[in-house]
A and B are shown apart, each in its own frame.
Chain A
Amino acid sequence: MELYTLIVLTLAATMRVATPLLLAAIAGMFSERSGVVDLGLEGKMLGAAFAAAAVSAATGSAWAGLGAGIGVSVLLALVIAFATVTQRGNQVVAAMAVNIMVAGLGPTLALAWFNLGGQTPQLDGPGQRFTALVWPGADAAGQHPFPGLLYAQLLSGHNLLVYVAAALVPLSAWVLFRTRFGLRLRAVGENPSAVDTAGISVTGLRYQAIVISGVLCGVAGTYLSTAASAGFTRDMTAGKGYLALAALIFGKWKPYPTLGACLLFAFTDALASRLQGVDLPVVGVIPVQAILALPYVLTVLLLAGFVGKAVAPAAIGVPYAKEK
């Protein structure tokens, strides 16, 4: 019974941890499927996290924060798009430049505006955060272990953005494989010349994909600072953008496998927090540092070849230029 509750709570935590990963990974999927490496996930998320927390603190509205988060993230995405698509610059360099810039700019602006040592104010006013939505009858159902607790903890009790992320998986699969836009997007990441000779703008498609990535990263960043926590702190993305990229590769650039990868990474993370200080049989108490490193170690192991060969979109990373 005790163990059962523990498992359910761990799974619920998995969902919460997986949300920003999933949003970012799906964001990356659109960008990378169009042939643009999306190392900028980290920076876009971090920028959005800061903007969302700052605007929410200033206006008292989480929704305004979400708008600001998306706005800033899209703006950063457009910077990368201009550098890499229009100017045909190196995609890795452009994205890393944005990541580094945001990592410094966020805390600097926070210090200038709020004078709280590089953080934004604690978001504790009404409506400043996206809080858990309790479904009808969830409280009562939670008293019954099965299936009531599952309903209360897994289906109910999350904030809106978690549901948005979950809905995004079938939605993006539908867009990618059932629509004209999806067909063209997949084509441009594989063979941009084919798209160009078919009379479709390669630049236009890539801009669209990058903007979609910006929007989704905006939601992911907003989630971090106004839903998962109550404010922006320095480097609060903590490599989640890169982890999302790893999940995307692990998921072979497909929506459902990517969801699986995100859940797996999130599960190790949730498990790690549960294991802290717990005296396990045989191994005893595992040092906190080792536990916290678990998701990252797992990433390295998985990407090092335990997943089989992941075939990237063929034209990824290559700026498109017409042949002479």
Chain B
Amino acid sequence: MSVERPSPTPSAAPAPSLELRAIDKRFGSVHANRAISFSVARGSVHGLVGENGAGKSTLMNIVYGFHRADSGEIWVNGRRVDVGSPQDAIAAGIGMVHQHFMLVENFTVLENVILGVEGGRLLAGGLARARTELEKLARDYALDVPLDTVVSELPVGLQQRVEILKALYRRAEILILDEPTAVLTPQEADALFQMLRRLRDEGKSVVLVTHKLREIMAITDRVTVMRQGAVVGEVATATTSPRELAEKMVGRAVLLRVEKTPAHPGETLLAVRDLEVRDRLGVVRVKGVSFAVRAGEIVGIAGVSGNGQSELLEALAGIRFPTRGSIMLQQHDLVREHLGPRERRALGLAHVPEDRLRLGVVASFSAEDNAILGYHDRADCNRGGLLNRAAIRTACAGKMAAHDVRPPLPGLRLSAFSGGNQQKLVLAREIDVDPRVLLIGQPTRGVDIGAIEFIHRKLIALRDAGKALLIVSVELDEILGLADRILVMNGGEIVGEVAREQATEETLGLMMAGVKGEGAA
């Protein structure tokens, strides 16, 4: 296993900022980390990539003292450290920005930063000192955040900045970021990368945990690839390519962008006119949008999350009723006739919701029960008023085979499946009844690269079979890879419509930020 390297004399080369030696960790029968070793040089950005479940988060939680490794050593600046708790990690100069921010939502920025390092029993003195120091940090690293604003009122990008400030305030020299761009717009992500570069130039070390190859290529100096709990490769970023990294991650060749032929749109299947949707508080979320989706095309809705896409999707699916406008499907005006999700389903409208766990599945139910949710009253699921268990199981096994759902066990609890396999099952359920129109929110949120390819192929096959597909995604790559026509939403309005051939990441990014595009609808 050991790699031959010319061993530098200790005095000549500086010790790596962070070095992991043969970290091993098991959770019961799961071998989450298998003898992981890698090192991060001072003043560098080190990428850690791998699919969901490859063991990246476990590893970083071990480094941050959340979990204890079964064996292995952590070295910081050439000294072995025993990290048994976050407190130890902080003392060793390790800071972590979690994917789900560790912020107290109803505290101010200042209160969040000093939590745990208040500097005395009374708050007043500590707050004053922290304010001075944070203002200095903000100047040094261009990390401006309003210190007295309550965190829940800040946009996600700024909340993340608070997390970084927290780490710097604790004098972190090594900063670990776990999937930091999952919640950011492309522009916010760029700003984050600027910030990370500045930190690197100041001599800090950054570990970037992600599954987005584009980010690895954009910012890291070296990258370590993990698969199934083990390191499968470590390379200098400059010498590799996304394709090579993806292959290492998945263990086989993958297509990052599924090939497709030009679309041949047919008749209009779904027509939306002047649709207005308000939320529970009466705030207008969708401001009179109009568009159509035709047979044999994929229409993609791009936009930073929270700009009305979710509400639009829910209004189309019948979960939320619009306050104005019309939705035409099969000569029915869904709004005027007040048709609910079940009636819409009967008219050939299928819906794969954005938030799978909230609206798409019941995680504690078995896969076979999830595979009939919403269709449980159909004749083939029932016999004499009772569920036809045998038929449901057979049908589910069939769907699992057709959609490569692994493991193919209909009786298994859905939460035991990975995100990608859950999503494949939901998709299988929705297309099994042969709908004419498919609404798909975030087709591959929380889905591994391998499964992304499968799902994308499936969606394009559906298009080619003459279905009308409406896809909402915050991943620009996905929109660009799938859609034939792209609508961009900002502030509840469609601010632009672009044919795929004319769309670039830059033009879409600008429109997403609210700059009106040409040919705005």
Q: Does B477 contact A (CB under 8 A)?
A: no
Among B27, B98, B115: residue with most chain A CB under 10 A: B115
Determine the main DSSP class of B at the interface with A. Answer: loop
Contacting residues of chain A (167-198) with chain B, CB-CB under 8 angstroms: 177-184, 186-187, 190-191, 193-198
Contact of A194 among B67, B85, B115 (CB under 8 A): B115
Docked-complex contact A199 and B116, CB < 8 angstroms:
yes
B100 and chain A: residue at smallest CB distance: A193
Taking CB atoms and an 8 Å cut-off, the chain A residues in 297-324 that contact chain B are 314, 322-324
Segment with Cβ contacts to A, from B122-130, B188-196, B467-475, B510-518: B122-130
- The answer, yes or no, to whether A160 is at the interface (CB within 8 Å) is no
B56 to chain A minimum Cβ distance, whole angstroms, is 14
Question: Given A186-B107, A187-B104, A190-B106: A198 and B122 within 8 A (CB)?
Answer: no
Complex contact A180–B122 (CB within 8 A): yes
B96 near A197 with CB under 8 A, answer: yes
- CB closest residue in chain B, given A190: B104
Q: Which of B96, B114, B121, B126 contacts A181 (CB 8 A)?
A: B121
Taking a contact as CB atoms closer than 8 A, the residue among B66, B87, B120 that contacts A322 in the complex is B66
User: Any chain B CB within 8 A of the CB of A116?
Assistant: no
Q: How many residues of A contact B (CB 8 A)?
A: 24
**Residues 76-107 of chain B: 1 if any A CB is under 8 Å from the residue's CB, otherwise 0?**
00000000011101100000101010111111
CA distance A195 to B98 in the complex (A): 13
C-alpha gap A162/B357 in the complex (Å): 51
Chain B residue with minimal CB distance to A198?
A: B116
Q: Are A178 and B123 in contact (CB under 8 A)?
A: yes
Q: Which residues of B lie under 8 Å from residue A196 when comparing CB positions? A: 66, 86
**Contact yes or no, B107 A190, CB < 8 A:** yes
Q: Does B111 contact A (CB under 8 A)?
A: yes
Chain B residues, Cβ within 8 Å of A194:
102-104, 112, 115
Residues in A with CB closer than 8 Å to B166 are 198
A79 at the interface (CB under 8 A from B): no
Mask of A188-212 contacts with B, CB within 8 angstroms, 1/0: 0011011111111000000000000
| Residues of A contacting B67 in the complex (Cβ-Cβ under 8 angstroms) | 322
Q: How far does the alpha carbon of A187 sit from the alpha carbon of B274 in the complex, in Å?
A: 45
User: B90 to A199, Cβ gap below 8 A?
Assistant: yes
Tell me the complex Cα distance, A180–B123, Å: 6
Please name all residues of chain A whose beta carbon is closer than 8 Å to the beta carbon of B124 when the two chains form the complex. 178
**Given A180-B122, A198-B116, A186 and B86 touching (CB < 8 A)?**
no
| Consensus secondary structure, chain A interface | helix
**Which of B100, B104, B116 has the largest number of chain A CB atoms within 10 A?**
B104
Tell me, in angstroms, the Cα distance from A293 to B343 when the chains sit together: 49
A199 touching B86, Cβ below 8 Å: yes
A residues in contact with B333, CB < 8 Å? none
Q: Is the CB of A195 within 8 A of B115?
A: yes
Chain B residues with CB under 8 A of A193: 98, 100, 102
Once the chains are docked, how many angstroms separate the CA of A187 from the CA of B111? 9
User: Given the complex of chains A and B, what is the CA–CA distance between A183 and B126 in angstroms?
Assistant: 12
B105 touches A198 (CB 8 A): no
A-chain residues with CB within 8 Å of residue B90 when the two chains form the complex:
199
Find out whether the CB atom of A314 lies under 8 angstroms from the CB atom of B105. Answer: yes
Q: Assuming A186-B104, A190-B105, is B98 touching A197 (CB within 8 A)?
A: yes
- CA gap between A187 and B116 in the complex, in Å: 10
Q: Are A180 and B102 in contact (CB under 8 A)?
A: no
A198 touches which of B66, B86, B121, B123 (Cβ 8 Å): B86
A190 and B120 CA atoms in complex are apart in Å by 22
Closest CB in chain B relative to A187 CB, distance in Å: 5
Interface assignment of B64: CB less than 8 Å from any CB of chain A: yes
B126–A180 CB distance below 8 A:
yes
Distance A180 CA – B124 CA, assembled complex (angstroms): 9
Name the residue on A nearest B111 (C-beta).
A183
Q: Which residues of chain A have C-beta atoms less than 8 A from B112's C-beta?
A: 194
Query: Across the interface, which residues of B come within 8 angstroms of A187, CB to CB?
Result: 104, 107, 115
The verdict on B144 contacting chain A, using a C-beta distance below 8 Å, is: no
Interface residues of A (CB under 8 A from B): 177-184, 186-187, 190-191, 193-200, 314, 322-324
Please provide the 3 A-B residue pairs with the shortest distance between their CB atoms, ordered closest to farther: A198-B116, A199-B87, A194-B102
Ordered by A's residue number, 7 sampled pairs between the chains whose C-beta atoms are within 8 Å are: A179-B121, A180-B123, A193-B98, A193-B102, A194-B102, A197-B66, A197-B86
Task: Using A196-B86, A197-B96 as known contacts, list a sample of 16 further A-B pairs with CB atoms less than 8 Å apart, ordered by residue number in A.
Answer: A177-B123, A178-B122, A180-B121, A182-B123, A183-B107, A183-B111, A184-B116, A186-B107, A190-B105, A197-B66, A198-B115, A198-B116, A199-B90, A200-B115, A314-B105, A322-B66
